[in-house]
Amino acid sequence: MRPGQLELRVAYALFALLILESFLVAWLVPRPQVFTLMLPVLATLGVAAWMAPRVVGLLRGHRELKEAYAQELGFARQVMESVEHGLTVTDEDGRFVFVNRAYARMLGVTPERVLGRTPFEFTVPEDHAALSEARTQRDLGATSTYRTRLRRPDGSLLEVAVTGSPRWHAGRIVGNVAAVVPLRELREADVNGLAR
């Protein structure tokens, strides 16, 4: 069913009921009083006839926008999950609100175990100063790239390059978006002559 079709049918049913009521009132009420009773009913019908197309258009537009948003969100998630390097999104408090499977694999955990936590929990303490400096730059609206080491639950370390950008919404910074690339893979690519 097309967006707004259900609303349009309900509006037609309400109009039919109002018109039926008007005919019943005109038929059952004695003639001099019928005009007094019909005037408010006719005014209501006029207002309803004026409002109905606008309400149906508004509802149809809202439904189409909602469907388009769901499709775009699904597409964005598909793109973020299909890349081979890690992608993360943090909120204003610096907590992960999204991580793709590639980033979770780098850490050796599931994405669900990363959500709600901060990058500091996965970074070696010696690199926290670089992480804080990068976050300060992003809070000022700048993109930054830095190297850090991630600690996995088994204790092993993974050196990565992180490029982060501020995440904007309604003219203000509401978090960060970061691409995380394992440096070991980049070095292997350099050896094989695949990277420039």
pLDDT tens profile 1-50: 565 667 667 777 777 777 777 777 666 666 666 666 667 767 777 777 77
Nearest Cα to Cα of residue 95 among 167, 163, 144: 167
In this structure, are residues 29 and 73 in contact, taking their beta carbons and an 8 Å threshold?
Answer: no
* 94 HSE (CA, 13 A, CB side): 12
pLDDT recorded at residue 165: 93
pLDDT recorded at residue 177: 93
In this structure, are residues 87 and 103 in contact, taking their beta carbons and an 8 Å threshold?
Answer: yes
Nearest-Å Rg of the Cα atoms of the chain is 30
pLDDT recorded at residue 195: 37
Q: Could you identify the residue written with the tokens 């809202």?
A: 62
User: Which residues does the chain have with pLDDT short of 50?
Assistant: 185-196
Q: Using CA atoms, how far apart are residues 149 and 97, in angstroms rounded to an integer?
A: 21
pLDDT recorded at residue 186: 36
Q: Using CA atoms, how far apart are residues 63 and 58, in angstroms rounded to an integer?
A: 9
pLDDT recorded at residue 100: 94
Which parts of the chain fold into alpha helices (H)?
Answer: 5-28, 31-82, 101-107, 111-114, 128-139, 183-191
Three-state DSSP state, 192: coil
Q: Using CA atoms, how far apart are residues 178 and 135, in angstroms rounded to an integer?
A: 11
pLDDT recorded at residue 46: 75
Q: Could you identify the residue written with the tokens 């590639």?
A: 102
